[in-house]
Chains A and B, each alone.
Chain A
Amino acid sequence: MPSKAIFITVGATASFDALIQAVLQSTFLHTLARMGYSELFIQYGQGGKELFNRLLEEAQEHGPYGIAVEAFEFTQNMMQSMRVAKAERGREEGVVLCHAGTGSVLDAIRIGVPVIVVPNPTLLDNHQVEFAEVMADMGYVVHGHLNNLEQALQDSEALRKKNKEWPPVNSGIHRKAKGLEGVIDEEMGYLD
């Protein structure tokens, strides 16, 4: 049976302890197992190691869940690491669960797997919630809430199904004739 992976990232800039906690909770891990996930990859970010190790030990006591966990602090190449969620190399398509930073969200969209976006509530000037909301409204991502990630996992299966439909729902519907190139051409003074 091919394995199925969830890739979790808290991002490079800020710590996101609440997300680490949420994904190592017994209910979440049980839901993962029930939905066929056998691997969990997590980038826990700077300073997240201690918390992660402690929670992992607790999770081990409450187990077994039949999930292989692989964790790391940071990687220069997030997009490459995310590919474990793609249907390749003996895996079926999984999911990416990330904070609501544009870098992570766009990377996940670019590799073409369902994305669950969880805003970090501890950030000042919190525009992450707005970003997650608008992206979910447009059908690009699932907006996950820290207190109910099980629901988000269910919703991600619906998103997966929708993404498989043809013609693709989200392909370039906003593409404006002008774009940034048009703006730059105008500023260069080009006549055509």
Chain B
Amino acid sequence: MLSSAIVLTLLLFLITTLIYLTLHVSSHLPPRRPRPIRRKRPIKPDGHILIVLGSGGHTAEMIILLGDNNGQLLRGFESRTWIISEGDAFSGQRALEVEKVLSTAHPNKTGSEDIITVPRARRIHQSLLTTPITSLKCLYTCLSLLHNNNKSGYPDILLTNGPGTGVIIVFALLILRVLGLGGVNTRIVYVESLARVRRVSFSGRLLMGVVDRFVVQWEGLEGEFLGPLVLDAAISGGGGCGGDGDGSVKGREGAVGSGRVRVEI
């Protein structure tokens, strides 16, 4: 008799805890999350945006989007934090190019930029056995850079388009939110890759339910359809980022190209 009473109490306790946890976690996720605080657009930009650059196609798409119209989108932010993966010099270079366009188009540009490198969640061809370890290392770095090692504090906007690092940094932010450490006011914007025409990517499926905005570029995909943004930006010029027509880049290209052989056939 007594034992069944204990079991019952424990069960009730467990259920209550579970309900509490579920409610607590879901209060930090859409649709229960509060809407952004409405305010007037400041005359001098004061926001902080964090941009995750993956590698290859993800970076290319992001740079085209952000470079569009001389970096119009980024001009609304006082500070920009760029996240790149270890060993990804390509993305670091592209971030610098966008910053250059920003300061050329706006010589009086104020604010700060910060490029932060995080360890890779998984290297190409890395064994699945060791992947959890490297992923945890990446997660730890993301947690600490969001919480402490970031001179501009928590970002107002976290923008990612689906590389692995983006998934991990979003989860890091969610963890910090649930633990009550911060990040409640950070709005997460996800832009699905232009390459995804009929199905959302794996990253997209992981993040769909937790981000504030889920933008897709093709009609018929689950999400908020805005048209092929990256394609439009590419056609309209993309702000000249990406190394097109830049003298210094040509110099580098020469160095790379010196190993080339020319053969007549």
CB–CB B234/A109 < 8 A: yes
CB–CB B226/A13 < 8 A: no
Residue in contact with B235 in the complex, picked from A67, A72, A172, A183, CB distance below 8 Å: A172
* Residues in A whose Cβ lies below 8 Å from that of B193: 102
Q: Is A50 an interface residue (CB 8 A)?
A: no
Digit string of A14-30 for contact with B (CB within 8 Å is 1, else 0)?
Answer: 00000000000000010
Digit string of B176-200 for contact with A (CB within 8 Å is 1, else 0)?
Answer: 0000000000010101011111110
CB–CB A181/B256 < 8 A: no
Interface of B is mostly: mixed
* Residues in B whose Cβ lies below 8 Å from that of A106: 60-61, 64, 194, 230-231, 234
Residue in contact with B157 in the complex, picked from A110, A178, A187, CB distance below 8 Å: A187
CB–CB B191/A185 < 8 A: no
A75 to B260 Cα, complex, angstroms:
11
Q: Is B115 an interface residue (CB 8 A)?
A: no
Residue in contact with A176 in the complex, picked from B202, B226, B250, CB distance below 8 Å: B226
A76 to B89 Cα, complex, angstroms:
9
Size class of the contact patch on chain B = 35 or more
Within 8 A of B (CB), among A155-188: 170-172, 174-176, 178-181, 183-188
**A131 and B41 contact, Cβ closer than 8 Å, known pairs A103-B61, A110-B242, A180-B226:** no
Number of interface residues of A (CB under 8 A): 61
CB–CB A180/B236 < 8 A: no
CB–CB B262/A101 < 8 A: no
Beyond the given A77-B252, A188-B156, please list 9 additional residue pairs across the A-B interface where CB-CB is below 8 A: A79-B242, A79-B244, A81-B253, A101-B57, A110-B234, A184-B157, A188-B157, A192-B40, A192-B41
Closest 10 CB pairs of A and B: A103-B60, A189-B36, A174-B227, A187-B187, A130-B197, A103-B57, A190-B41, A102-B57, A106-B234, A77-B243
